[in-house]
Amino acid sequence: MAEEHLDGSRTVRYGEEEFERPAGGETHQTARDGRPPLTTQQGVVVADNQNTLGAGARGPALLEDFPFREKLFHFDHERIPERVVHARGFGAHGYFETYESLSDVTRADLFQEAGRRTPAFVRFSTVAGNKGSTDLARDVRGFAVKFYTREGNWDLVGNNIPVFFIQDAIKFPDIIHAAKEAPDRGFPQAQTAHDNFWDLVSLLPESTHMLLWIMSDRAIPRSFRFMEGFGVHTFRLIDAQGRSTFVKFHWKPKQGLQSVLWNEALKISGADPDFHRRDLWDAITSGDFPEWELGLQLFDDEFADRFAFDVLDPTKLIPEEEVPIRTVGRLVLDRVVDNFFAETEQVAFCTQNVVPGIDFTDDPLLQGRNFSYLDTQLKRLGSPNFTSLPINAPKCPVAHFQQDGHMAMANPTSRANYEPNSWGPGVGGPREDPVRGFHSAPAAQVGEKRRLRPDSFADHYSQARQFFISQTPVEQRHIIDAFVFELSKCERDDIRLRMLGGLRHVHDDLARGVADGLGVEQLPEPVEAARRPITDLPPSPALSLVANGPASVAGRKVGILLADGFDSSSLQALRAAAEEEGATVEIIAAHVAGATGSDGSRVAAGQKIDGAPSVLYDAVAVLASADGAARLARLPAARDFVSDAYAHCKFIAYAPETGPLLEVAGVAGLLDDGFVRLDDGRASADAFIERCRQVRLWDRQLAAAGS
């Protein structure tokens, strides 16, 4: 039944329902209350999305119910295999901007001109945990960047740690099996604190350098925004004349480096397993776009020959002090994804995706990766046509003779599907171009076909030692504590002792410290080493997080715990001081309804105290009247809020009236430089934010440890 209007539109009635159809009758533009109609995948408008088709109200379901069967069929097939490693990730869009032309070293299009912007997509990830695990696992973070250049896609598939566990790709399945859940019981999840992992690595001395990094705070970053990224392998840049320069890629966060403490990581995992992804989402959607600068370490054969280690060995880095970093551009992340599955899940990085001007080296890990990534995408995305998915498709012209396969979306449209052919332009399809095309850097190769590990890869301890001595005392303490934590979770004594035997090659303080933490009195003999470690490598200050921490609170989050009667002007002053510095503020109270201030106005809370432990903030403040503070003091979560902030070396601002809370939190007698009393309006708020620039009062931890 339809009623036609003067403008050609119609009101259509089905049973009791009425639909407006615009002139022309395009069904899909019509809707009740202006929304598009719900359809099946075939475009048929669905009349009832609440009830299946049955024989009578209580009768059996009917097979002919195609909207129902299609809906369930599609739902049943929603999941695809998660990544075998790096399953849990979070992506964002942005661009890369080149600072100056790099035509002196590479012909890669994205580096040819100052100011050129190349669209980019980045996916950060943890390695070992499954897709639903926690963001704060102690783990390496993936830092994979896809550059959609005008000459094809370049994937720089890096990590936040510049070295890797193994030297040869053939060991990858072993290290990943050992790190992930044990096959019989299916746990532990997203952690390396178990026998299998330490059993393998204690038998694999080449992993020692990487172990030092993952036991350091690098493996528990405060967020993706505050960590570095590394290409790990040595690559090559090729200029227009075909000359090759070795290169290592570095990403430096403009936000500065920052990590959390292990005890915080444990608690964040409970309070907000999505802490890192939420942080990135919040930063980008609030317009605080994170940035990283791309740095290159460029060197030639002469340096490679005289460097103490093999530049093809992925368990080694080149200290920045030896080959300084040339900063060549910036990566800005300014757009979150529209759909997590379509973009973050379906993005497919492949190390083999390089563009003219960038080439591989013979690093055996890189060579193995070049096989694995393409292979894994086929398994995961189900078809060789994954390259046509919008997130993976190049943003430059693509023309080839590849065709068909599952989900083919970009098949050739003319007659010729082979080459060479004698069809004319338009029909005959594309042709190779020896000038613009990709050329591999020519390299002479001779050698016996054998399975050998080069002698130049045999030193497994010197750079581990260099890493350890480059850390500040508090960072060394964290490394020791992390080894102790993880090894204490091992059930087998012999594994712990073998690991200690390996650490003896790294540094006496490390081995002794870990032994003490494990309650081992007699250090075991050092394990057999292929080569004596070099003990006079100088410290590399660039390797310390604390020494390279932020100089500002910008991008950080201050949590302010309020109770009724708080001084309204103190809150205003704190908020202004924090926000002027570029930090964000979140209000926490006993109820989400918030608290009423001294001026009678109510401030809504972003969080109820039970859901907002202080581990979620970089610095905290407590504001309350004496009565309000007494009420807070009765809440265990409020007590933990303060005592944890103290234990995690955070800066704490407090109103003079909050004494009762500080008392029960056990910190009233411990007021040190990390506490700022809010008794002087804006001046004390400014003093607090100024102190927060250090992010942590590390002396507090050193004092507690008696160091």
- Pick between residue 364 and residue 628 the one whose CB is nearest to ligand HDE: 364
Q: Select which of 5, 28, 74, 86 is catalytic.
A: 86
DSSP 8-state symbol, 39: B
Q: Output the CA torsion 479→484→489→490 (10° steps).
A: 100
Candidate segments 77-85, 425-433, 465-473, 614-622, binder of ligand HDE by CB under 6 A: 77-85
Pick from 500, 124, 466: nearest CA to 317: 466
Burial 511-523 (b: 16+ CB within 10 A, else e): bbbbbebbebeeb
H or E stretch at 19: strand 17-21
Q: Is 621 in the site for ligand HDE (CB under 6 A)?
A: no
- The residue whose two tokens read 């190349």 is 118
Name residues contacting ligand HDE, limited to 163-202 (CB under 6 A). Answer: 164, 169, 172
Name residues contacting ligand HDE, limited to 339-368 (CB under 6 A). Answer: 347, 349, 365, 368
Cα–Cα distance, 371 to 157 (Å, whole number) = 14
The tokens for 680 are 């002087």
**419: which residues sit within 8 A by CB, 6+ positions away?**
401, 428, 429, 430, 431
Cα–Cα distance, 544 to 349 (Å, whole number) = 30
Do residues 181 and 187 lie in contact, with contact meaning Cβ atoms separated by under 8 Å?
yes
DSSP 8-state symbol, 177: H
Candidate segments 295-303, 325-333, 371-379, 434-442, binder of ligand HDE by CB under 6 A: 371-379
- Pick between residue 294 and residue 553 the one whose CB is nearest to ligand HDE: 294
Name residues contacting ligand HDE, limited to 218-247 (CB under 6 A). Answer: 232
- Pick between residue 189 and residue 552 the one whose CB is nearest to ligand HDE: 189
Q: Is 129 in the site for ligand HDE (CB under 6 A)?
A: no
Name residues contacting ligand HDE, limited to 641-700 (CB under 6 A). Answer: none
- Pick between residue 80 and residue 593 the one whose CB is nearest to ligand HDE: 80
Pick from 427, 211, 389: nearest CA to 315: 211
130 is a catalytic site residue = no
- CA distances in angstroms from 552 to 536, 687, 695, listed in the order given: 35, 13, 8
Q: Is 550 in the site for ligand HDE (CB under 6 A)?
A: no
CB atoms inside a 10 Å sphere around CB 664: 20
CA gyration radius for the chain?
A: 30
Q: How far is the CB of 517 from ligand HDE (least distance, A)?
A: 30
Give the residue ranges of DSSP H helices in 346-432: 364-381
Q: Is 373 in the site for ligand HDE (CB under 6 A)?
A: yes
Cα–Cα distance, 570 to 588 (Å, whole number) = 15
What SS3 string covers 248-280? Answer: EEEEEECCCCCECCHHHHHHHHHHCCCHHHHHH
**680: which residues sit within 8 A by CB, 6+ positions away?**
none
86 is a catalytic site residue = yes
- CA distances in angstroms from 468 to 221, 462, 472, 600, listed in the order given: 18, 10, 9, 55
Name residues contacting ligand HDE, limited to 374-393 (CB under 6 A). Answer: 376-377
Q: Is 372 in the site for ligand HDE (CB under 6 A)?
A: yes
- Pick between residue 169 and residue 497 the one whose CB is nearest to ligand HDE: 169
Q: How far is the CB of 294 from ligand HDE (least distance, A)?
A: 15
- Pick between residue 543 and residue 589 the one whose CB is nearest to ligand HDE: 543
Cα–Cα distance, 231 to 210 (Å, whole number) = 15
Residue from 21, 85, 283, 612 touching ligand HDE (CB under 6 A): that is: 85
Residue from 21, 68, 89, 264 touching ligand HDE (CB under 6 A): that is: 89
Q: How far is the CB of 285 from ligand HDE (least distance, A)?
A: 21
User: Which amino acid, residue 282?
Assistant: D
Q: Is 249 in the site for ligand HDE (CB under 6 A)?
A: no
- Pick between residue 80 and residue 408 the one whose CB is nearest to ligand HDE: 80
| Per-residue x/- track, 98-127, ligand HDE (CB under 6 A) | -------------------------x-x--
H or E stretch at 686: helix 681-692
**Closest residue to ligand HDE, based on beta-carbon distance:** 142
Q: How far is the CB of 345 from ligand HDE (least distance, A)?
A: 9
Q: How far is the CB of 249 from ligand HDE (least distance, A)?
A: 9
- Pick between residue 314 and residue 597 the one whose CB is nearest to ligand HDE: 314
Q: How far is the CB of 479 from ligand HDE (least distance, A)?
A: 21
Q: How far is the CB of 177 from ligand HDE (least distance, A)?
A: 12
Q: Is 83 in the site for ligand HDE (CB under 6 A)?
A: yes
Q: Is 33 exposed, middle or buried (0-12, 13-18, 19+ CB in 10 A)?
A: exposed
Q: Is 137 in the site for ligand HDE (CB under 6 A)?
A: no
- Pick between residue 106 and residue 344 the one whose CB is nearest to ligand HDE: 344
Q: Is 144 in the site for ligand HDE (CB under 6 A)?
A: yes
Pairing label, strands 291-299, 326-336: antiparallel
DSSP 8-state symbol, 342: I
Per rule CB under 6 A, count of chain residues that contact ligand HDE: 26
User: Which positions touch ligand HDE (CB under 6 A)?
Assistant: 83-86, 89, 123, 125, 142, 144, 157-159, 164, 169, 172, 232, 314, 347, 349, 365, 368-369, 372-373, 376-377
Q: Which residues are catalytic?
A: 86, 159
